[in-house]
Amino acid sequence: MSIFQFENYIENIDVPIMVMQGRNDYQVQADADYGLLQELLGGREYDGLDHYFMPSSAKNFREHRDIIGLRPPGTRVDKQVLCDIVDWVHAN
């Protein structure tokens, strides 16, 4: 389903939806894809985090790919993201 079709289905969704985006996400790009979702549903964008909500200094997809390959074992999802998810679940 194209993201542009997504807005046609919003009115039929009757469950809460949490929209989150890592600003350094190169799989779902904030400027191309996330903007419409944020406009339709609200959302939260996390500076310096990637698609996995882990720290990333990448400036493009290739750098992002390389950073993922070099992450040490035990690298974790950003704590604030986890807290926001827990808060959202409790509220909904």
The continuous run of DSSP H or E covering 44 comes out as strand 44-46
Find out whether 60 and 51 touch, Cβ atoms under 8 Å.
Answer: no
pLDDT digits (tens, 9 = 90+) for 60-73: 888 887 877 777 77
Average pLDDT over every residue of 5-28: 77
In the chain, DSSP finds a helix count (H) and a strand count (E) of 4, 2
pLDDT digits (tens, 9 = 90+) for 25-62: 777 766 766 777 777 777 778 888 888 888 888 888 88
Helix intervals (H) in 1-92: 3-9, 35-41, 61-70, 79-91
Dist. CA 17–CA 88, nearest whole Å: 10
Average pLDDT, rounded, for the chain: 79
What are the residue ranges spanned by the domains of the chain? 3-91
